[in-house]
């Protein structure tokens, strides 16, 4: 909006035209108020075992209380649907039913499984939603590492396999093996980011940043046509510094999903064990890829892909990303040096800037 012109003049007011002076003053204040820059509203709190931060603004009036309530209700609904820590959640109800009957889980879970099936195939089985028993075997659900014997890994691998999970229809799944367990945590945060973004959109918000546990999506821009800018953390355990800044596009939605091995790991007798498990052999990955960032519009798809590519490692991950035509930033740790590489699409992408 153009700045209002301020016209200076001298007027001799008398008692009789005091109302004219008041009217002129009020109009001037209205002009100033109408041209003030909208402010960014912020919401934050605990969710899904981590935290969330939401920033949004609107030129038109919105109901901030209704937005906050809608977001809280959405988190509660997602938790009831996907949480592996709630025995009454839909996914845990499915897991606890040790049979091969068709079970109704709803369209949301079926849609997530379909995405995961495609990404699992693209990763040659490295990424797998049925990997939960392996996490339990290694102790990655707790605070202490348990290094299992090879025989125990072989036994547990018999419970693993996306091919053992069947999509019956748009609302039903079936286990081909009764003791199969499904863990949606590798895709749930991206899905949650999308669900919360839709809550904002339903309230007429088109300019926002939604972040849950470091996974995020932006749409639009900040007041004054300023782009959202995102800092990527330097992927080293002992550091909390910035590795990269991403300037987000102002005219389309964009998700930034990052998976890394540098925060969640165990050290045992000089050996570091990543929390990223390869579903093909049941063991933590041993390559030197420490961070993968996927930048596409759909945070759900991006969340599945960042885990899959981190599992594959830089060489195979790059090949998979190029085949799928996905913009990806890879960071490897070679000695004490961080080495960046980009997928073909990211190299040609001109809708955002990394610097």
Question: Are 143 and 136 a contacting pair, CB within 8 Å?
Answer: no
What is the domain count for the chain? 1
Average pLDDT rounded to a whole number, residues 287-314: 96
Please state at what angle helix 299-312 crosses helix 107-122, rounded to 10 degrees: 30
With respect to residue 36, please indicate whether it lies within any of the assigned structural domains. no
Average pLDDT rounded to a whole number, residues 155-179: 97
The mean pLDDT value of the chain amounts to 87
With respect to residue 167, please indicate whether it lies within any of the assigned structural domains. yes
| Predicted local confidence at residue 17, as pLDDT | 38
| Predicted local confidence at residue 36, as pLDDT | 60
pLDDT digits (tens, 9 = 90+) for 119-144: 999 999 999 999 999 988 988 766 66
pLDDT digits (tens, 9 = 90+) for 53-64: 999 999 999 999
pLDDT digits (tens, 9 = 90+) for 209-255: 999 999 999 999 999 999 999 999 888 877 677 899 999 999 999 99
* Alpha-carbon span 58 to 61, nearest angstrom: 7
With respect to residue 133, please indicate whether it lies within any of the assigned structural domains. yes
* Alpha-carbon span 113 to 173, nearest angstrom: 9
CATH number at residue 254: 3.10.520.10
At residue 164's C-alpha, the angle toward residues 161 and 166, to 5°, is: 130
* Alpha-carbon span 295 to 257, nearest angstrom: 7
DSSP track, 120-166 = HHHTTTSS-TT-HHHHHHHTTTSSS-----HHHHHHHHTT--GGGEE
| Predicted local confidence at residue 131, as pLDDT | 94
Average pLDDT rounded to a whole number, residues 180-190: 96
With respect to residue 269, please indicate whether it lies within any of the assigned structural domains. yes
Of 178-187, 260-269, 336-345, which gets the smallest average pLDDT? 260-269
| Predicted local confidence at residue 34, as pLDDT | 47
Count Cα atoms within 13 angstroms, Cβ side, for 161: 14
Does position 269 have pLDDT exceeding 80, yes or no? no
* Alpha-carbon span 144 to 277, nearest angstrom: 16
Does position 262 have pLDDT exceeding 90, yes or no? no
With respect to residue 190, please indicate whether it lies within any of the assigned structural domains. yes
Please state at what angle helix 299-312 crosses helix 314-324, rounded to 10 degrees: 140
User: Where in the sequence is the domain holding 75, given as residue range(s)?
Assistant: 41-354
| Predicted local confidence at residue 322, as pLDDT | 98
Of 2 and 55, the structure prediction assigns the larger pLDDT to 55
Does position 149 have pLDDT exceeding 90, yes or no? yes
pLDDT digits (tens, 9 = 90+) for 26-36: 333 334 444 56
With respect to residue 1, please indicate whether it lies within any of the assigned structural domains. no
Spatial CA neighbour of 273 closest among 155, 127, 138: 138
Does position 2 have pLDDT exceeding 60, yes or no? no
With respect to residue 35, please indicate whether it lies within any of the assigned structural domains. no
With respect to residue 15, please indicate whether it lies within any of the assigned structural domains. no
Beta bridge partners of 45: 52
Of 87-91, 92-96, 180-184, 257-261, which gets the smallest average pLDDT? 257-261
Spatial CA neighbour of 217 closest among 169, 255, 184, 243: 255
| Predicted local confidence at residue 1, as pLDDT | 38
Report the predicted TM-score, pTM, of the whole model to 2 decimal places. 0.86
What is the chain's alpha carbon radius of gyration, rounded to the nearest angstrom?
25
């Amino acid at each position: 909006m153009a700045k209002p012109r301020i016209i200076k003049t001298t007027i001799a007011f008398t008692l009789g035209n005091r109302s004219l002076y008041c009217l002129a003053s009020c109009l001037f204040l209205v002009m100033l108020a109408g041209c003030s820059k909208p402010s960014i509203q912020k919401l934050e709190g605990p969710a899904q075992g981590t935290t969330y931060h939401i920033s949004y603004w609107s030129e038109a009036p919105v109901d901030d209380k209704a937005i906050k309530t809608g977001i809280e209700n959405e988190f509660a609904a997602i938790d009831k649907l996907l949480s592996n820590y709630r025995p009454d959640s839909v996914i845990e109800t499915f897991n606890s039913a040790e049979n091969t009957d068709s079970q109704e889980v709803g369209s949301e879970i079926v849609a997530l499984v379909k995405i995961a099936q495609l990404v699992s195939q693209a990763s040659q089985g490295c990424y797998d939603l049925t990997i939960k028993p392996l996490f339990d075997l290694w102790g990655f659900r707790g605070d202490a590492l348990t290094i299992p014997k090879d025989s125990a890994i072989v036994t547990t691998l018999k419970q693993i396999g996306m091919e053992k999970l069947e999509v019956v229809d748009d609302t039903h799944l079936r286990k081909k093996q009764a003791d199969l367990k499904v863990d949606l945590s590798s895709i749930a945060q991206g899905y949650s980011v999308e669900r919360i973004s839709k809550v904002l959109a339903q309230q007429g918000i088109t300019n926002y940043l939604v972040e849950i546990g470091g996974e995020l999506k932006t749409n639009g821009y900040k007041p004054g046509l300023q782009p959202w800018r995102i800092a990527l953390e330097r992927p080293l355990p002992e550091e909390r510094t910035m590795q990269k800044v991403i300037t987000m596009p102002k005219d389309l939605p964009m998700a930034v999903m990052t998976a890394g091995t540098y925060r969640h790991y165990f050290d045992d007798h000089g050996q570091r064990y990543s929390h990223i498990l390869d579903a093909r052999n049941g063991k933590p990955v041993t390559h030197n890829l420490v961070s993968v960032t996927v930048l596409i519009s759909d945070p759900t798809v991006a969340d599945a892909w960042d885990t899959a590519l981190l599992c594959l490692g830089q060489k195979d991950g790059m090949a998979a990303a190029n085949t799928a035509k996905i913009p990806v930033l890879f960071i490897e740790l070679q000695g004490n040096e961080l080495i960046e590489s980009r997928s073909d699409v990211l190299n040609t992408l001109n809708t955002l800037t990394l610097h």
